[in-house]
Amino acid sequence: MIVVLNTYPVIISRDLVFVSKENALWPTTARMGASVEALERITPETVGQVMSMMETGNLSQVSVMNGNMDELYSVRNDATGYDERVLFSLVRSAISNKEDKFRSFFSDGAFMSYSSCPIMSGDQVVGAVCVYEYDETEGRIVLGIRDDMLNISLGLGIAAILVSFILSKTMTYRLKRVLDGIKNVREGEYTYRVAVSGHDELTQLSDEFNSLTDRLQKTEEIRRRFVADASHELKTPLAAIRLLSDSILETDNMDAETVKEFVTGIREESERLGRTTGQLLALTKLDNAAATVRVDVDCCEVANRVLGTLKPIAERAGVTVRAELDANVHIMASSDELFQIIYNLVENAIKYNRPGGSVSLTVRRESEKVRITVEDTGIGIPEEDLPYIFDRFYRVEKSRDRDEGGTGLGLSIVKSTADRHGGEVTAEKRSEGGMRFVVSFPAYIQGKT
């Protein structure tokens, strides 16, 4: 690039000077040729006379030759750069080809220009005029342009090197900040955020990285809380089992009734442990599983199965279960997972009900949606607890719900499962008391994809 910048303008200005030299020398040469042609007899004396009347001061040399290339007239003002061979070759060419000739050279900071024209007598060539000009002034201008270009390009080169050095240093520094961020986050420092100024792709990259770290931080917090909650939930029944068994072992002559009571307690606690671990496993499966194979599920059939399974529990609790199930309501889901959703909601509606209360399960298709509603006349959930009931291990009244055998995982399983199938779950208090849970899914309409 710098080489082009240096040579191209010099070549162009040199060629321009060549053209201007030709334009300037040719009329002078032609005028001299015409003056000699006008002579009656061409002899050294007559040519000398006519040439002495011509203006030759700015020319370095003027020569007039006859057809045999013998010199008839010659005046030399300045011999610098003069090359006799060039002059002779131009004169020879003018005589033998009957045409004007021009040659110009640029060397050592000067222009050396030769111009020749034939002297005609009728159709015959009887000689030639040749002029030579040595010009340093325009040579200096061209050299000046070359030097200026060299200085400019050197300046530009140094500036380019400086700018690219500064740019690469800045880039390296900014990249290092991103890399530091990646390293810190990789080592578990999820609060670390990358601060890169600017408006380029690197800034976008660090913004993306920061939002990824945000998500990682949230996921990590949820994971930690989950592990802490899970171990707490497992520790409580284990501690109760240990306490009960220690009491049996350490008490001499414990009466049979107390032993039975303690062993029943141990059994209940171990059942609760089993339920908690079972539900934890179900949740872990929901978290990790790749998308389950979804098939056309008949909601009515699944709802009837749930009702059949929970019938004995409802009877034992003295709760009436009513169902209103629209026929031909289908969704794309996994039958087992839909069963789990309806089961958990109806089981809660029975569990948190009052003797003599009722539960109603409706399955309806409303245009493009399927709505599954579970309502009860039970104890309800206080308004302030509603936002948290889908959180893992959240119980409204810790001790009482534990007595009911609850794990605090049922509703979070409902929510995770519904989410996986593009569904939504909402919970609200009924104005007449009790709760209403609604799960809605996109309806599957046969023949429509």
To ligand ADP, the closest distance from the beta carbon of 222 in angstroms equals 16
Angle at 169 between CA 168 and CA 172, to 5 degrees: 80
Q: By CB under 6 A, is residue 125 in contact with ligand ADP?
A: no
For residues 143 and 3, what is the distance between their CA atoms, to the nearest angstrom?
16
Q: By CB under 6 A, is residue 237 in contact with ligand ADP?
A: no
Q: By CB under 6 A, is residue 411 in contact with ligand ADP?
A: yes
Q: By CB under 6 A, is residue 272 in contact with ligand ADP?
A: no
> Contact region for ligand ADP (CB under 6 A) — 44-52, 250-258, 321-329, 376-384?
376-384
To ligand ADP, the closest distance from the beta carbon of 257 in angstroms equals 30
To ligand ADP, the closest distance from the beta carbon of 417 in angstroms equals 12
Residue 100 and residue 29 in contact, taking contact as beta carbons nearer than 8 Å: yes
> Contact region for ligand ADP (CB under 6 A) — 27-35, 202-210, 248-256, 405-413?
405-413
For residues 7 and 368, what is the distance between their CA atoms, to the nearest angstrom?
76
To ligand ADP, the closest distance from the beta carbon of 407 in angstroms equals 4
Q: By CB under 6 A, is residue 406 in contact with ligand ADP?
A: yes
Exactly one of 206, 276, 407, 416 binds ligand ADP (CB under 6 A); that residue is 407
Tell me which residues in 284-323 interact with ligand ADP (CB under 6 A): none
Q: By CB under 6 A, is residue 357 in contact with ligand ADP?
A: no
Q: By CB under 6 A, is residue 349 in contact with ligand ADP?
A: yes
Q: By CB under 6 A, is residue 395 in contact with ligand ADP?
A: yes
For residues 276 and 296, what is the distance between their CA atoms, to the nearest angstrom?
30
To ligand ADP, the closest distance from the beta carbon of 414 in angstroms equals 7
Number of residues counted as binding ligand ADP (CB under 6 A): 22
Residue linked to tokens 């003002």 = 77
Tell me which residues in 413-442 interact with ligand ADP (CB under 6 A): 435
> Contact region for ligand ADP (CB under 6 A) — 249-257, 334-342, 360-368, 372-380?
372-380
Q: Among residues 51 and 389, whose Cβ is nearest to ligand ADP?
A: 389
Exactly one of 283, 319, 329, 389 binds ligand ADP (CB under 6 A); that residue is 389
Exactly one of 132, 352, 441, 444 binds ligand ADP (CB under 6 A); that residue is 352
> Contact region for ligand ADP (CB under 6 A) — 284-292, 300-308, 313-321, 395-403?
395-403
- 3-state SS, the chain, equals CHHHHHHHHHHHHHHHHHHHHHHHHHHHHHHHHHHHHCCCCCCHHHHHHHHHCCCCCCCCEEEEEECCCCEEEEEECCCCCCCHHHHHHHHHHHHHHCCCEEEEEEECCEEEEEEEEEEEECCEEEEEEEEEEEECHHHHHHHHHHHHHHHHHHHHHHHHHHHHHHHHHHHHHHHHHHHHHHHHHHCCCCCCCCCCCCCCHHHHHHHHHHHHHHHHHHHHHHHHHHHHHHHHHHHHHHHHHHHHHHHHHHCCCCCHHHHHHHHHHHHHHHHHHHHHHHHHHHHHHHHHCCCCCCEEEEHHHHHHHHHHHHHHHHHHHCCEEEEEECCCCEEEECHHHHHHHHHHHHHHHHHCCCCCCEEEEEEEEECCEEEEEEEECCCCCCHHHHHHCCCCCCCCCHHHHHHCCCCCCHHHHHHHHHHHCCCEEEEEECCCCCEEEEEEEEECCCCCC
To ligand ADP, the closest distance from the beta carbon of 178 in angstroms equals 42
Name the closest residue to ligand ADP (Cβ): 406
To ligand ADP, the closest distance from the beta carbon of 202 in angstroms equals 46
Q: By CB under 6 A, is residue 380 in contact with ligand ADP?
A: yes
Exactly one of 280, 409, 418, 425 binds ligand ADP (CB under 6 A); that residue is 409
> Contact region for ligand ADP (CB under 6 A) — 150-158, 201-209, 231-239, 377-385?
377-385
**Interface ranges with ligand ADP (CB under 6 A):** 344, 348-349, 352, 376, 378-381, 389, 394-396, 401, 406-412, 435
